[in-house]
């Protein structure tokens, strides 16, 4: 397959129209078989619930080129399960895991020319989403839905993949304590836009949110989970009902245990005790694992390992997980789906 004429090393995380996308409709109580289409525009009713009542959820995952010329997905079953939980919370029809994975495979195969080559550092990003559509009014579930997946080649979430970034702690909340924080819905991201914009205006890469109940414990960033490495070499990451259960975070915990011989814990991380962390970072599908160099809280800056280079543990975690994703390191059972 002839690849597109792209400078893969210069890719960021921006929309690029690729050749095909997958789309399936829920009508009369069932999903249709779905199909691949060229048009990247969808037409929906002005009464669609996704426009008025935020009845929508989405996912993010990647396809990777391997050294032997293969293509593989990383833990797509976990993305399917998380989307199912989101649909259940918002009273939308779920997509079966088998349908979800097969739809991902179809759209990846149809856009093979857009998949960055092995060794480029770039990947193919998949964005599945479900939205409520149709002629609706009133705050209630829709009677029709769209399930679609589009793809685009991306580089690292940040230009220099392991260069530390600086973050600030915001006083705003991303999600309510028992609201929608634990599912991947657009409203959570909309709620983080102002805080992140304020952080950017002050020269920070982003912000961290504290728990919405006490504002004493770190929850997560607007689009990524937080993690740290303690001075006694434990991998720690927050747990709360308002945090999105990240697949990258979950994977890094297992990598820490099985590949780095570390204890890995989901636990409270108090903002006034961050000096107990030797290294810290954010993790997610787009960024994988990015170190935080400096974190500012109420005007007080704290530097973790360094503001200019990644610490040794985060470097090893990043290299190991990316090696698994690209087929260079043997993966735990069930993590890889070959296209």
HEC assignment per residue over the chain: CCCCCCCHHHCCCCCCCCCCEEEEEEECCEECCCEEECCCCCCCCCCCHHHHCCCEEECCEEEEECCCCCEEEECHHHHHHHHHHHHHHCCCCCCCHHHHHHHHHHHHHHCHHHCCCCCCCCEEEEEEEEEEECCCCCCCCCCEEEEEEEEEEECCCCCCCCCCEEEEECCCCCCCCCCCCCCCCHHHHHHHHHHHHHHHHCCCCEEEEECCCCCCEEEEECCCEEEEEECCCEEEECCCCCCCCCHHHHHHHHHHHHHHCCEEEECCCEHHHHHHEEEEEEEECCCEEEEEEEEEECCEEEECCCCCCCCHHHHHHHHHHHHHHCCCCCCCCCCEEEC
Q: Quote the CA–CA distance of 319 and 121 in Å, as a whole number.
A: 11
List the one residue out of 73, 66, 69, 119 whose CA is nearest residue 329: 66
Catalytic residue numbers? 184
- Which band of pLDDT confidence, cut at 50, 70 and 90, is reported for residue 229? very high
- Which band of pLDDT confidence, cut at 50, 70 and 90, is reported for residue 36? very high
Strand pairing class (277-284; 144-154): unpaired
Q: Quote the CA–CA distance of 146 and 302 in Å, as a whole number.
A: 45
Average pLDDT, the chain: 96
So what's the pLDDT on residue 1? Answer: 77
Q: Quote the CA–CA distance of 265 and 189 in Å, as a whole number.
A: 26
So what's the pLDDT on residue 210? Answer: 98
Q: Are 74 and 59 spatial neighbours (Cβ–Cβ below 8 Å)?
A: no
- Output phi, psi for 230, to 5 deg: -75, 165
Find the range with the poorest average confidence among 9-13, 27-31, 242-246, 321-325: 9-13
Identify the bridge partners of residue 146 per DSSP, sorted by sequence position.
25, 131
Q: Are 83 and 251 spatial neighbours (Cβ–Cβ below 8 Å)?
A: no
- Which band of pLDDT confidence, cut at 50, 70 and 90, is reported for residue 160? low
pLDDT per residue over 238-289, tens digit each? Answer: 999 999 999 999 999 999 999 999 999 999 999 999 999 999 999 999 889 9
So what's the pLDDT on residue 313? Answer: 98
Q: Quote the CA–CA distance of 143 and 157 in Å, as a whole number.
A: 36
What average pLDDT does range 130-156 have in this prediction? 96
Q: Are 234 and 228 spatial neighbours (Cβ–Cβ below 8 Å)?
A: no
So what's the pLDDT on residue 222? Answer: 85
Q: Quote the CA–CA distance of 191 and 212 in Å, as a whole number.
A: 13
So what's the pLDDT on residue 181? Answer: 96
Structure tokens at 315: 């470097």
pTM over 0.85: yes
């Amino acid at each position: 397959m002839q690849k597109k004429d792209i400078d893969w090393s210069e890719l960021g995380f921006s929309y690029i129209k690729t050749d095909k996308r997958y789309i399936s409709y829920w009508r009369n109580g069932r999903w249709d078989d779905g199909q691949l289409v060229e048009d990247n525009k969808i037409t929906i009713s002005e009464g669609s619930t996704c426009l008025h009542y935020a009845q929508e959820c989405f996912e993010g995952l990647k396809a990777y080129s391997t050294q032997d010329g293969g293509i593989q997905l990383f833990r797509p079953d976990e993305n399917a399960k998380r989307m199912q939980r989101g649909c259940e919370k918002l009273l939308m029809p779920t997509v079966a895991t088998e349908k979800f994975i097969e739809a991902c495979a179809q759209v990846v195969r149809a856009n093979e020319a857009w998949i960055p080559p092995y060794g480029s550092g770039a990947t193919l990003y998949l964005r599945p989403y479900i939205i409520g559509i149709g002629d609706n009014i009133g705050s209630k579930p829709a009677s029709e839905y769209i399930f679609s997946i589009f793809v685009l080649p991306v580089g690292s979430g940040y230009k220099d993949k392991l260069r530390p970034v600086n973050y600030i702690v915001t006083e705003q909340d991303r999600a309510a304590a028992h609201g929608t924080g634990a599912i991947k819905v657009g409203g959570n991201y909309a709620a983080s836009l102002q805080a992140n914009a304020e952080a950017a205006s002050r020269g920070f890469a982003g912000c961290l949110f504290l728990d919405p109940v006490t504002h004493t414990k770190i929850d997560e960033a607007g689009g990524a989970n937080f993690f740290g490495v303690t001075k006694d070499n434990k991998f720690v990451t927050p747990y709360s009902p308002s945090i999105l259960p990240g697949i990258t975070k979950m994977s890094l915990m297992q990598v820490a245990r099985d590949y780095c011989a570390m204890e890995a814990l989901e636990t409270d991380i108090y903002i006034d005790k961050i000096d107990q962390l030797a290294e810290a970072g954010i993790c997610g599908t787009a960024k994988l694992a990015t170190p935080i160099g400096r974190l500012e809280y109420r005007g007080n800056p704290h530097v973790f390992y360094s503001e200019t280079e990644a610490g040794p543990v985060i470097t090893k975690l990043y290299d190991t997980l990316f090696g698994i994703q690209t087929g260079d390191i043997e993966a735990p059972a069930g993590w890889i789906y070959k296209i």
